[in-house]
Chains A and B, each alone.
Chain A
């Protein structure tokens, strides 16, 4: 059945092939698969399916090395979302996905549609979304490009909020970093979590020859055509011209589609369902057929469209949002249409599952695409490249902390602490999360602002905890260690919240993998992530790869964001970062070191990005987390907070500030023989500050000792609205907690409120 060129289609030339992001070698492979020259439509299909975004050309061989299995993993990588068993007959689906490129040119819609896409990935598994998280990176808010950064930041936050708030899914946690490395190429990673009964799990499979294939939801328009290919190239000055490739989201339709899809899945009238996400109808239909080992035959003129005159090429590659592809049971089409109609949505039969294994598309009966399905999905060429570390990175790692000249102001460590609390990366993100509805669905036990979010599972005494983490600067300085740290920190945050870490979804944000130094970052960080996931028994159940994150000035920091989900086995174990009561003892689990490499302190106070990422011992981390969980479960722990950016001093200050109206003071005495800057602000890994009733301190220390975890009582919680005092051998932090709180909470608002970007973005949704 040879496909025919349509009248008016462009001739396939080497230039056209190159425009589609395909190399001459890849094009030769296409010629071999087809045994002829592809039609223009077929070229578009290959271009999308073999893009980095869909085909994982450069990452697949590396991803294969990640651990993906555990007894509680019900669905690993390869589906719309990963699924784990959380006990009590319940399962949790979760996944993370990037919308970096769209957000760089159109922050509001780029971020909004990122949320929409990840929600659909979760509810197409049969799970009702119960929480959203996000991980964001922007350039320097105070830098020369500050106006642009504020525009992107304000737009992304509003886009995420408006979409999730409208659909009614609480946004419960996230992280935001500001660094020049992300200037012009922000990162927007959205994660969603859904809950279902185990037996409600459904997959994106096209099974059953003769079963009808149905398009459901919004009508297809010309928006977002080639979004997947756009996302697979570097951003440039011309990227702005690609704004039309950014899709437009409609959360109201998403909400209807969510309810209709869950009703559909539970109705028994369908065998498979999948989001029409990146590369739209093409990727959803080919992937469903590939999973089912079947073929599909689609009549393109049956697809409901928004406008006249759309070509098969456009319909296949459109990324119009809020659409689903459904494989119904033969003869049940009217039931499907009935359910969708109840929610005022369209459903139309557009094709049929075949036994030919071929991907066939017709236009008024005339074949315009005819490709063997298996090679289209699976023969996407993959590349294992040779990574080479950039010599300047090795040089940075050799930086010697003893050469650091302290600034005069640093003689008062209180000045340094104030400076760090005012750094946007460390400062409170309240300005962000107050724009997100975090309490809808009435299950948010711990919302934004603690180490991890905790969501109760209604009808049980359990909860799940979730977090997203990655320090890209560590990965930049040492990709292997940086990868390990991202996983270790995520697991530590869950343990601090009282949860046992269970599984990971990862979002690999990197530069252009064709550059050996970027490929090195990718392969080495994945090696670190794999080893850490193995150590913490948190297999990777899926994720997303976003490469070509570059702007004219170079690549972003390598940023493999780790989304992690854990289980709190009893609601009584839920623990937060904030100190609870005056007089409680403060216990440090883990050891202080003299490390300063890669720290926020070096960057903010000295303008330096240098040194090695902090050392990490996976065994030590696991022992720490095991001890912490044991102490929490025994009821000894009132608060737990890990030491991350800004080190021990910032961790202590955050827990003091977070202690509710006016905060709580602290009185801490650190005996370590270390330079004050490293002791207070160094970012040694594997440390958690715990507060406990003094009657329980000995027991907490004993549990730590039994697991071989260094521990010490370092002080106690002071009075409400008291002073934050941290004494060291080289100077003392001493300030009223209220003063520190004001700095911490005002750092972002004072940089945002009343700026042009803030006002403009705030008005945006009015004119939609």
Chain B
């Protein structure tokens, strides 16, 4: 499996994603994709990493959504290729129109950096098949603008069509207001598109690859992808 990690100016989790693929999945290869280029180098999946692309100027992800590489990423996604955006990558996917809604300032108006509990609502290829519905994962969040927002019709549709993939919850898996620190609509931490091949999430699975650092619960994300892409 060959996974492309896009580096935008200001991306700062590209290295972590690269390492997570390279170290977390046996036999996987990760390559960096440069924002100014149009070549996806024949990758099997694309990761849009976290960070502050273009310094968050204008709006988070707004400028990156219009960079040259994103034209190719959109075409790749439209053709069914697996694309995941983590944190700033989720913001970029929303700005690019690949996912509905937007990420706005945290309800607390402060940056939130802490381990979060996530409840898995969909355990399907390509990104979450290694989990079971109802699993509670511990995965770090680190964002200033992670409050998921969309109109009620969109939220209803996301829920009705099984497109909410992760929600913030407490240690026992209860989706509570207390657990939803950034104030996301309906506690949503991650969603996917209608076809299921594009996923956006605010928490950082690439930071939860090793119990030494507090949690290895993110490894399932990369294992799922590897399973999906494995030649059958």
- Which residues of A are interface residues toward B (Cβ below 8 A)? 158, 161-162, 165-168, 250-253, 255-256, 343-344, 433-445, 456, 458, 571, 661, 759, 762-763, 765-766
Contacts and interface: CB of A to CB of B under 8 A. Distances in A.
Given A166-B10, A250-B55, A435 B213 contact: no
Given A166-B55, A439-B204, A439-B213, A759 B109 contact: yes
Contacts of A661: 171
A454 B31 CA distance: 29
A434 B57 contact: no
A11 to B, nearest CB: 44
B12 A167 contact: yes
Contact of B209 (A167, A251, A442, A763): A442
17 contacts: A162-B111, A165-B142, A166-B10, A168-B12, A168-B52, A250-B55, A251-B52, A253-B55, A255-B9, A344-B9, A434-B110, A435-B113, A436-B111, A437-B111, A440-B142, A661-B171, A762-B109
A442 B113 contact: no
Given A437-B142, A440-B142, A571-B212, A165 B111 contact: yes
B85 interface: no
Interface stretch (B13-21, B128-136, B157-165): B13-21
A439 B113 contact: yes
B64 to A, nearest CB: 12
A252 B58 CA distance: 13
Nearest to A753: B108
Given A250-B55, A434-B114, A442-B206, 20 more contacts: A162-B111, A165-B142, A166-B10, A168-B52, A252-B52, A252-B57, A255-B10, A434-B113, A435-B111, A437-B113, A437-B142, A438-B113, A440-B12, A440-B142, A444-B213, A456-B213, A661-B171, A759-B109, A762-B110, A763-B109
Interface in B47-104: 50-52, 54-57
Contact of A442 (B109, B111, B112, B207): B207
A163 to B, nearest CB: 11
Interface pairs A-B: 9 shortest CB-CB? A168-B12, A252-B55, A762-B109, A437-B142, A166-B52, A442-B16, A439-B140, A435-B111, A437-B113
B190 interface: no
Contacts of B213: 439, 442-445, 456
A252 B9 contact: yes
Contacts of B214: 439
B209 to A, nearest CB: 7
B144 interface: yes
Contacts of A444: 213
Contacts of A443: 213
Q: How large is the interface on B (under 10, 10 to 19, 20 to 34, 35 or more residues)?
A: 35 or more
A166 B204 contact: no
Nearest to B13: A440
Contacts of B110: 158, 434-435, 762
A111 to B, nearest CB: 14
A439 B112 CA distance: 12
A534 to B, nearest CB: 35
B212 A168 contact: no
Interface string B209-227: 1101110000000000000
A696 to B, nearest CB: 22
A251 B113 CA distance: 18
A151 to B, nearest CB: 15
B92 to A, nearest CB: 15
B13 A252 contact: no
A440 B207 contact: yes
Contact of B113 (A343, A344, A433, A458): A433
Nearest to A448: B113
B16 A441 contact: yes
Contacts of B13: 168, 440
A441 B17 CA distance: 9
Given A434-B114, A439-B207, A762-B109, A343 B52 contact: no
Nearest to A435: B111
A447 to B, nearest CB: 8
Contacts of A759: 109
A256 B8 CA distance: 10
A444 B214 CA distance: 9
A253 B10 CA distance: 8
Contacts of A439: 113, 140, 142, 204, 207, 213-214
Contact of A168 (B51, B206, B207): B51
A428 to B, nearest CB: 13
Contacts of A166: 10, 12, 52, 55-56
A256 B10 CA distance: 7
A343 B207 CA distance: 26
Given A255-B12, A440-B16, A445 B212 contact: yes
Interface string B105-146: 100111111100000000000000000000000001010100
A29 B85 CA distance: 62
A598 B204 CA distance: 44
A759 B105 CA distance: 13
Interface in B181-232: 204, 206-207, 209-210, 212-214
A250 B12 CA distance: 15
**Most chain A beta carbons < 10 A, residue from B19, B171, B209:** B19
Contact of B9 (A250, A343, A436, A458): A343
Contacts of B56: 166, 252
A434 B141 CA distance: 10
A434 B111 CA distance: 7
A511 B142 CA distance: 38
Contacts of A255: 9-10, 12, 52
Contacts of A256: 9-10
A582 B173 CA distance: 26
Nearest to B142: A437
Nearest to B52: A166
A571 B213 CA distance: 11
**Most chain B beta carbons < 10 A, residue from A168, A434, A571, A661:** A168
Nearest to B53: A252
B103 to A, nearest CB: 15
Nearest to A250: B55
A438 B214 CA distance: 12
A158 B106 CA distance: 14
A766 B50 CA distance: 20
A595 to B, nearest CB: 37
Contacts of A436: 111, 113
B16 A165 contact: no
Given A433-B113, A437-B113, A571-B212, A252 B10 contact: yes
Contacts of B12: 166-168, 255, 440
B169 to A, nearest CB: 14
Contacts of B15: 441
B125 to A, nearest CB: 25
Nearest to B36: A342
Interface in B16-30: 16, 19-20
Contacts of A571: 212
A343 B10 CA distance: 10
Contacts of A433: 113
Contacts of B210: 442
B137 to A, nearest CB: 15
Nearest to A433: B113
Contacts of B144: 162, 165, 765
Given A250-B55, A661-B171, A161 B111 contact: yes
A466 B10 CA distance: 27
Given A165-B144, A168-B51, A442 B19 contact: yes
B15 to A, nearest CB: 7
Contacts of B114: 434
**Most chain A beta carbons < 10 A, residue from B56, B57, B109:** B109
A438 to B, nearest CB: 6
A344 B55 CA distance: 13
Contacts of B55: 166, 250-253
B19 A252 contact: no
Contacts of A168: 12-13, 51-52
